[in-house]
Structure 1
């Protein structure tokens, strides 16, 4: 059981991560890859993923000698380049203490590159960055667009839950077995653990490879991060969790799912803010997608007072064609 003890400031600081974190998804994918069980569902995915892992990624196993991962692998940046450089921001003594913690009592000494990392040498950081990048490109990159889509759906779902029922109900319903008892949020977990954010804030993060209990990252001086399983319970595929196939999905892969959905919506006129609200993205993101579609001749944009109005062109309608039928499947109706 995980018990998170809230103060009033902690309740005020609860937020949902707006974007997926590439190295978090990599970490949970690797955990699932190395966790036995679910052979019927995950056996083929495990064999395929392990076979495709490049040799450079093998260095990551050196950092988890006894199943305990060092804290500096908990990286929540939503930009892959920033995430890959995150370990450089850690104070050298923290890296040393984390390596010593995970190797405590382990019979084999760490390999040379881990000793370089322990000493704070640049060569060790380069090996770590290369290993994370290689593993991400092999395991997560093929399904990264799917992860981003799923994350946006989760973000929208929880935003609506908080708006309609309040934060307490959203926390209690986050995962099966969760409950809020006065100022203590209880979550299912291995063993007993008490966490006190102490006003640092708490970030909720869905993951789409892990299917076990919630994971908590409680690093000094940083917000507490609670990672919870939110996927379909099946291995993700590049075609998407539902794998509908067919021309509708092909069009979404060419345009990008958000732009395809935007074209569907623009059978009728919408403002930028209206598009953003319907798509569950920021105004800036909606504006950027509309500009890309406008540049391709698929959308027209006119200004009406303070509002900016977008509508599909004849070419856009010709391209979208019978794909309007997927509007209801994706949950967007003009």
Structure 2
């Protein structure tokens, strides 16, 4: 149980976020992707997202090796650029202490780029920003208009509740499982006591999360409570079908996966290893795709290298949206991690 202790001033400083935060919505989506208890309910969505995530997003997994993310990722700016600038502007001492806190319990070696981030190297920050952008374009961008519409609906509902019944009703009725006892607001979640001392609270709905409310508590900032709202299911673009499934319906599952991966060149052996098929099967599929004019194949030493043609890219554009490939970056898909967490708010 999370117990949040209000002062009289805090009750006058409860605000509802006027617009959604792109980086915050991304982080809750990544958290849902990594929740093992969601495999049945969100199974197809999770598999599709893991299959489509580009290699450029891989540093996010390095930064969050367990279930908790460093607090400098807890930003709620209303544009992706502002969010990245806010992350970059955190005090170096906070960044270093958070990296140490998150990575100290894990026995695996700390990746070199994380060490560089610890030292404030600009190249490491650029790598992190690129990872956030690549993940956002893949996971959230296709449904961002829907997120904005849902947020406006929640904002209106909150405003009406406050106007008709007061802030207490908004705190208990708007956040699932919340209770208000005098000046203590109780939320579902890990055992924790938080004293606001005049900082106030920012309420923020999220549409890719179905768990308990998430609390971001940064010194000197309002407490941010992110709570699940909306339909309670992974979002899909309005009127759209599963775009990856649509491509598979045209080509077949394996050939669709090969075409998606060939935004960058691959050898037959690398394709076979990434798809979990034999070299002979991979060769047969690439032969069919080459005969259809969707890929090219050239010899490089003892290997052959495949790459998507303009016609293949046009088909991917048509079937998977404006990014040209689900990864939106031309990088290697990450594949599904085995229990690793990606960034998200502190529980």
TM-score for the superposition, normalised by structure 1: 0.70
In the alignment, which residue of structure 1 is the partner of 2:232?
233
Q: Comparing 168-177 with 23-32, which one deviates more in the overlay?
A: 168-177
* 1:84-122 deviation per Cα after TM superposition (whole angstroms, max 9, x unaligned): 222221111110000000011210121011101000111
Q: CA RMSD in A?
A: 1.6
CA distance in 1, matches of 2:224, 2:38: 26
CA distance in 1, matches of 2:66, 2:99: 12
Q: What is the number of equivalent residue pairs in this alignment?
A: 242
Residue segments in structure 2 that go unaligned for 5+ positions in a row: 243-347
In the alignment, which residue of structure 2 is the partner of 1:307?
none
Which aligned pairs between 1:294-333 and structure 2 lie closer than 5 A? none
Helix, strand or coil: the match of 2:37? coil
Change (3 A) 1:240 1:71: farther
> By how many angstroms is 1:43 displaced?
0.4
Helix, strand or coil: the match of 1:227? strand
Change (3 A) 1:35 1:195: same
In the alignment, which residue of structure 1 is the partner of 2:43?
43
* 1:249-307 deviation per Cα after TM superposition (whole angstroms, max 9, x unaligned): xxxxxxxxxxxxxxxxxxxxxxxxxxxxxxxxxxxxxxxxxxxxxxxxxxxxxxxxxxx
* 1:11-58 deviation per Cα after TM superposition (whole angstroms, max 9, x unaligned): 111000000000000000000000012333310000100111010101
CA distance in 2, matches of 1:126, 1:108: 24
In the alignment, which residue of structure 2 is the partner of 1:195?
194
CA distance in 1, matches of 2:38, 2:117: 35
TM-score for the superposition, normalised by structure 2: 0.68
Higher relative contact order (CA 8 A, sep 6+): 2
The answer to whether residue 167 in structure 2 is matched with residue 156 in structure 1 is no
Q: Is the 8 A contact 1:87 1:125 kept in 2?
A: no
* 1:297-329 deviation per Cα after TM superposition (whole angstroms, max 9, x unaligned): xxxxxxxxxxxxxxxxxxxxxxxxxxxxxxxxx
In the alignment, which residue of structure 2 is the partner of 1:205?
204
CA distance in 1, matches of 2:186, 2:78: 27
Q: Is the 8 A contact 2:176 2:227 kept in 1?
A: no
In the alignment, which residue of structure 1 is the partner of 2:167?
167
Which is helix-richer, 1 or 2? 1
